[in-house]
Chains A and B, each alone.
Chain A
Amino acid sequence: MELKKILVAVNGNGADEEAIKLACSVARKSKAAVYVVYIIQVKRSLPLDAEISSEIQRAEEVLTHAEDIASEQDYDVETDLLQAREVGPAIVDEAMERDIDLIVLGMPYKRAFGMFSLGTTVPYVLREAPCRVLLCREPIS
């Protein structure tokens, strides 16, 4: 499996670091480009291109941290900040637009109402992404 482009979606949770390290490690073998994206989910009450400064600031911090993690791995990544109504469709759209070969998602170990939960974004990406998807769940703490 030769990979040329890898997309990592981050959102500032604890699983981001492992996902970026994993993406860098996989990318290194084929010298693939790694794109790290943060998606700001914009409420319908605001226009899609609304500038939500608090969200933008947080996104920039997360992306800077992602770059730092990649640097520690001695790998260059490209970062991007997107705004969308829904995170899942935004990841899939971005993957299609960039002709991505692999999407890497990190997810925390989440429980909802006492049951393990994948949330809504991960199932959507697994269902709709045109390329391979690598899901990295953080260990149960």
Chain B
Amino acid sequence: MYIIVIGGGIVGYPLCRALLSEGHEVLVIEKDAKRCDYLEDNLGSVCIRGDGCEAATLEEAGTARADIFVATTTRDEDNLMACQVAKYKFKVAQTIALVNDPVNEELFRKLGVDYTVSVVTHLLEPIKEEIPTGSLTHLLSLRDEGMEVVEVRIPQDSKAVKKPVRELALPPDCILALVIRKEQKPQVPTLDTVLEAGDRVIALTRGEDEAALRDVFIGS
């Protein structure tokens, strides 16, 4: 695959190294001349100096034949602009952007970026998992279906404790996929499965129903 990476910094450089080691054709577009030299010294002739937001630079890079376009700079506005030029001018099938401020994630998606990665969001998830803040942990986003795969740990004072699944007022379209109980094998819950405090429930739900699901297991 031909993969173009915008920005050869702390994310772009190791990403390129990993992609090259997997045998992909990779090109980095980097603004900074010294950084270009560093990339050339360490990765070989896979770097061109330029602005990844400019159509002329992307033309030179052969963006029209790229399979994947990844923007990894530390500026969200650059990442968004670069992905949009790649997507709409050069018709790249798959655009991926690093989103530095998670507030911008939704905007990126609305403006056509195919996949967004927010380091902050990824860092928050394990923190939420370890610290009982009473929120859902996002495991996977099924964007085309508008669904989220989430995990919830049932607290001691939850109204769902000691209740079978059939008695829970789950939001419509919500599917409980798995119940993970300490020192037991994970089980697929049935309507008769009785939940206990400390259980971890993996559920599939619509994004807009997350609050209702949270209310069922944790309380408002």
Q: Which residues of A contact B (CB under 8 A)?
A: 43-48, 85-86, 88-89
Enumerate 24 A-B pairs (CB-CB under 8 Å) in ascending A order.
A43-B60, A43-B62, A44-B27, A44-B48, A44-B60, A44-B61, A44-B62, A45-B59, A45-B60, A45-B61, A45-B62, A45-B64, A45-B65, A46-B62, A46-B65, A47-B2, A47-B25, A47-B65, A48-B25, A85-B45, A86-B45, A88-B45, A89-B44, A89-B45
Give the residues in chain A near B65, CB-CB below 8 Å.
45-47
Size category, B interface: 10 to 19
Q: Which residues of B contact A (CB under 8 A)?
A: 2, 25, 27, 44-45, 48, 59-62, 64-65
Give the residues in chain A near B2, CB-CB below 8 Å.
47
Give the residues in chain B near A88, CB-CB below 8 Å.
45
The B interface is mostly helix, strand or loop, or mixed, namely: mixed
Give the residues in chain A near B60, CB-CB below 8 Å.
43-45
The A interface is mostly helix, strand or loop, or mixed, namely: loop
Nearest A-chain residue to B66, judged by Cβ: A44
> Distance (Å) between the CB of B59 and the closest chain A CB?
7
Nearest A-chain residue to B48, judged by Cβ: A44
Give the residues in chain A near B59, CB-CB below 8 Å.
45
> Distance (Å) between the CB of B116 and the closest chain A CB?
26
Give the residues in chain B near A43, CB-CB below 8 Å.
60, 62
> Distance (Å) between the CB of B202 and the closest chain A CB?
43
Distance in angstroms between the alpha carbons of A20 and B81 in the assembled complex: 50
Give the residues in chain B near A89, CB-CB below 8 Å.
44-45
Distance in angstroms between the alpha carbons of A43 and B27 in the assembled complex: 12
Distance in angstroms between the alpha carbons of A24 and B61 in the assembled complex: 39
Give the residues in chain A near B44, CB-CB below 8 Å.
89
> Distance (Å) between the CB of B173 and the closest chain A CB?
45
Nearest A-chain residue to B59, judged by Cβ: A45
> Distance (Å) between the CB of A48 and the closest chain B CB?
7
Distance in angstroms between the alpha carbons of A85 and B40 in the assembled complex: 13
Distance in angstroms between the alpha carbons of A44 and B25 in the assembled complex: 10
Give the residues in chain B near A48, CB-CB below 8 Å.
25
Nearest A-chain residue to B44, judged by Cβ: A89
Nearest B-chain residue to A45, judged by Cβ: B62
> Distance (Å) between the CB of A88 and the closest chain B CB?
8
Give the residues in chain A near B64, CB-CB below 8 Å.
45
